[in-house]
Amino acid sequence: MRQLVEIMSQSVEMKKICKQELEVKIDQTSCVLESLVLHNLQLNRTYEEETEKIHNNMQELELEIENLKGNANVRRHIVGSDGDAMVKMAKAQIDLEARETALQDKTMTLAQKERVTNDEYQDARKEMIQLWNMNEDLMSGDKIRVKRMGQLNPEPFIAAVKMKHGGQNQEQRIRLSS
């Protein structure tokens, strides 16, 4: 009897140690997940701010280009063949082309930044999923879940069928319900 008590006390101690190790591992994993979530939010904010700035600049440039085109068209109709006016129009046309080139460059820069930000976002997402998959058994009670398309969790479905149809022919009813 005494040996049984000693064995059980040792088993309880071992379980306490395992529980403490699991709690430490859960704490570490949750800290990493929290940092990944914060990093993701920061990336999204930065991306939105940069996109808004570039979008505003692009709109300003487009308005300037439209104004310059309109001014150039008006000058062509008014001036006719005046030499000095032709020089001004040529300069305005060169300025217009330079601004159009700047707009195209900014558009390309925006597209490149968007790709880089999207790559960073996808890497952070993959790291978070990988971390989740490594510690899925530890995270069963947390709010974060990973759902892949086409992957089903049969446990809630089976429980619902059992509640609805009772214990009669469960396997057959489950197959028919699915």
> Is residue 68 in some structural domain?
yes
pLDDT of residue 63: 85
Same domain? 70 vs 9:
yes
Domain that holds residue 27: 1-78
Give the C-alpha separation, 1 to 24, whole Å.
Answer: 35
Same domain? 72 vs 103:
no
pLDDT of residue 58: 79
pLDDT of residue 33: 78
pLDDT of residue 85: 67
Taking alpha carbons only, the member of 29, 19, 38 closest to residue 135 is 29
pLDDT of residue 94: 87
Q: What is the pTM of this model?
A: 0.41
Same domain? 7 vs 50:
yes
Same domain? 72 vs 87:
no
Per-residue pLDDT of the chain (178 residues; tens, 9 = 90+): 788 888 888 888 988 888 888 888 888 877 877 887 888 788 888 888 888 887 888 788 788 878 877 877 776 666 655 667 667 777 877 888 888 888 888 888 888 888 888 888 888 878 877 777 776 665 555 555 555 666 666 777 777 777 777 666 666 666 666 5
Same domain? 25 vs 88:
no
Residue 62: HSE in the Cβ half-sphere, 13 Å Cα cutoff: 9
Same domain? 74 vs 116:
no
Give the C-alpha separation, 118 to 130, whole Å.
Answer: 18
Same domain? 128 vs 101:
yes
Total domain count for the chain?
2
pLDDT of residue 172: 66
> Is residue 30 in some structural domain?
yes
